Amino acid sequence: MKIIVAGPGCQRCHSTEEIVSGVVRELGLDAEVEHIFDVQEYVKLGVRLTPSVLVDGKIVFSGSVPTNEEVRKILAAEGKPL
């Protein structure tokens, strides 16, 4: 699973990255977490509001700092095989 946190580097974006990374460790997911700071790069991915979280190219959260519980629910659902 590839997880991208998209945002220009503000405190909200860093908080989102910390929360996402913590939940990945907590759930024991095999996931790569990357933070894209470049506006042009994340706009190409469809991001319009930051911070945003993308899982395997799909925006799953956008516009505010998610809670641990919100990230846990999203990643637990995304980590399940189809």
Query: Rounded to an integer, what distance in angstroms lies between the CA atom of residue 27 and that of residue 40?
Result: 31
Domain interval for residue 25: 2-64
- From the list 10, 27, 39, 76, the catalytic residue is 10
Q: Report pTM.
A: 0.90
| Total domain count, the chain | 1
Measured CA distances, 23 to 26, 28, 29, 70, 78 (Å): 5, 8, 9, 10, 13
The reply to whether 22 belongs to the active site is no
49 belongs to a structural domain: yes
19 belongs to a structural domain: yes
69 belongs to a structural domain: no
20 belongs to a structural domain: yes
Confidence of residue 77 (pLDDT cuts 50, 70, 90): confident
Q: Is the pLDDT score of 81 beyond 50?
A: no
| Chain segment 16-75, per-residue pLDDT in tens | 999 999 999 999 999 999 999 999 999 999 999 999 999 999 999 999 999 999 999 998
81 belongs to a structural domain: no
Q: Which residues contact 1 (CB under 8 A, 6 or more apart)?
A: 29, 30, 31, 32, 55, 56, 75, 78, 79
The reply to whether 10 belongs to the active site is yes
CATH number at residue 53: 3.40.30.10
- From the list 3, 4, 6, 13, the catalytic residue is 13
